[in-house]
Amino acid sequence: MVTPKSDDSQALELQRDSLHSYIDSPEKQQQLYKRTLAVVVTAQIFGGAGLAAGVTVGALIAQDMLGTDVLAGLPTAVFTLGSAGAALFVGRGSQRFGRRFGLGTGFLVGGIGAIGVVLAAIFNNIFLFFASLLIYGSGAATNLQTRYAGTDLASSTQRARAVSIAMVATTFGAVAGPNLVGVMGRFAGSIGVPPLAGPFILSAAAYLLAGLVLALFLRPDPLKVANLIAAKRHKTESLTLETPVSLIKNNREVVVGATIMVLTQIVMVAVMTMTPVYMGHHGHGLSAVGLVIGIHIAAMFLPSLITGVLVDKFGRMKMAMASGATLLAAGLLAAFAPGSSLFGIIIALALLGLGWNFGLISGTALIVDATHPKTRAKTQGTVDVLIALAGASGGVLSGMVVAQSSYATLSLAGGFLALLLIPVVIWSRGKHL
């Protein structure tokens, strides 16, 4: 009985030695930075497919089960509410045990939730459907938080680009997911599963694979190494504790970054959620819906490499203002383009995704700038809880607004809400951020 304990102790010592070997070696740090990005990119490809496939048909399954449009936005609200709780768990788990544990577990739980959705569709059980969507939200939260893993070892002038690399990887899976809706629907039908549940079969497989990639290959853990490097720097440079002034400045940056991401999330989720239902009312088929959502999600992630460079070069605040202007344009076009015009809907949803991209990368860079490795993952998780709750609110309200008024009203309201980003930026500049 003594030998296993001795082996465990030796393994822990080896792990500590391995981590400490990165502290004084910039070359090894750079190698780990590149390796981390490669693992994150691979996981994000699968994660994007898992997220996009489910988002595409969630509202349609609810519409089919409930027989009404009024609550069509509820599935998005439920899984984003689930993602809020998961974001807190993933953030705190990552802070305590490392990114590998937090992110790997989050994706695996999301995969289990997707399996539950498929079972709910088979048995036509609305309660199981919503309970499973709540768990499925863990995948969405993890997909979002994975973007932070690449920033742990990035310099201050690389952070936005590190976020963008992680996000652009999501594009490959995110575009493929919605465009496989028809294929997965036919596959589901061939095995006796309702066609609308087909995309969730893809989501389950994609999330489980993403979790396994992170759990197996995100070694050494980048956040643990970043903590050791920060601790060493503190000792060798005799850094003092942050002054109250610097702490206030950092807290303001966190508030501004969070506000930017929350506003863009509300607008994006609200309009995106009701677009498939709106298209159905104007005679567009499931393949057309998949095309529109695929292009929308591509616009959310594909421009990231360029956006990251722009955020690092021109500043976080200028790109936040660009986000507000782009989302306003998306709302105006969605409101006034004819419902029968597939081209008009595609452009509106592409602008919606692009505006969200500008806001998320600029806001994320602000959060990373303002946090220390010792508290970074925990703070990031808390901010992502707010983002998820914003998405849940947007999902619930979107169906109600459309039921009581119209899709055009929803789109206009979203566009003008995005303009609040401008006073946020003005306020932040007034505080000398």
Amino acid (one-letter) located at 40: V
Q: Which two tokens stand for residue 100?
A: 């590998």
pLDDT, position 72: 66
pLDDT, position 430: 61
Q: pLDDT: is 253 or 68 the higher one?
A: 253
pLDDT, position 285: 84
Average pLDDT over every residue of 347-373? 92
> Which residue reads 């009404």 in tokens?
68
Other Cβ atoms less than 10 A from the Cβ of 176: the count is 18
Per-residue pLDDT for 263 more than 90?
yes
- SS3 call for 388: helix
Range from 17-21, 154-158, 363-367 carrying the lowest mean pLDDT: 17-21
pLDDT, position 235: 61
- Rounded Cα distance between 30 and 32, Å, is 5
Residue 321 CA: distances (Å) to CA of 103, 221, 269: 31, 35, 19
Inter-residue contact 330 to 355 (CB < 8 Å): yes
The angle at the Cα of 258, spanning 353 to 143, to the nearest 5 degrees, equals 55
Per-residue pLDDT for 2 more than 50?
no
Average pLDDT, the chain: 84
Average pLDDT over every residue of 107-133? 94
Q: Which two tokens stand for residue 346?
A: 């595609």
Residue 358 is part of a domain; what is its CATH number? 1.20.1250.20
pLDDT for 267-304, tens place per residue? 999 999 899 889 988 888 878 888 898 789 889 888 88
Average pLDDT over every residue of 162-170? 82
Total count of domains within the chain: 1
pLDDT for 35-65, tens place per residue? 998 999 999 889 888 877 666 677 788 878 8
Q: Is residue 355 part of a domain?
A: yes
pLDDT, position 238: 47
pLDDT band, very low/low/confident/very high, at 70 (cuts 50, 70, 90): low
Range from 157-166, 275-284, 312-321 carrying the lowest mean pLDDT: 157-166
pLDDT for 297-313, tens place per residue? 889 888 888 998 899 88
R_g of the chain computed on alpha carbons: 22
pLDDT band, very low/low/confident/very high, at 9 (cuts 50, 70, 90): low
pLDDT band, very low/low/confident/very high, at 15 (cuts 50, 70, 90): low
pLDDT for 347-358, tens place per residue? 999 999 999 999
DSSP sequence for 63-89: HHHHS-STTTTHHHHHHHHHHHHHHHH
Per-residue pLDDT for 75 more than 50?
yes
Range of the domain at 348: 31-430
- SS3 call for 433: coil
- Rounded Cα distance between 96 and 99, Å, is 9
Nearest to 361 by CA among 412, 418, 302: 302
pLDDT, position 13: 54
- Rounded Cα distance between 144 and 406, Å, is 30
Inter-residue contact 128 to 252 (CB < 8 Å): no
Q: Is residue 12 part of a domain?
A: no
Neighbour-count burial for 253-284, b at 16+ CB within 10 Å, e otherwise: bbbbbbbbbbbbbbbbbbbbbbbbbbbbeeeb
- Rounded Cα distance between 118 and 126, Å, is 11
Residue 279 CA: distances (Å) to CA of 77, 175, 225, 301: 20, 19, 48, 23
- In the chain, the percentage of residues whose pLDDT exceeds 70 is 88
Average pLDDT over every residue of 371-384? 86
Q: Is residue 8 part of a domain?
A: no
DSSP sequence for 267-324: HHHHHHHHHHHHHHHTT--HHHHHHHHHHHHHHHHTTHHHHHHHHHHH-HHHHHHHHH
pLDDT, position 80: 74
pLDDT, position 153: 83
Range from 152-161, 217-226, 327-336 carrying the lowest mean pLDDT: 152-161
Q: Is residue 16 part of a domain?
A: no
- In the chain, the percentage of residues whose pLDDT exceeds 90 is 39
- Rounded Cα distance between 257 and 152, Å, is 18
pLDDT, position 432: 42
pLDDT for 177-216, tens place per residue? 777 777 888 999 999 999 989 989 999 999 999 999 999 9
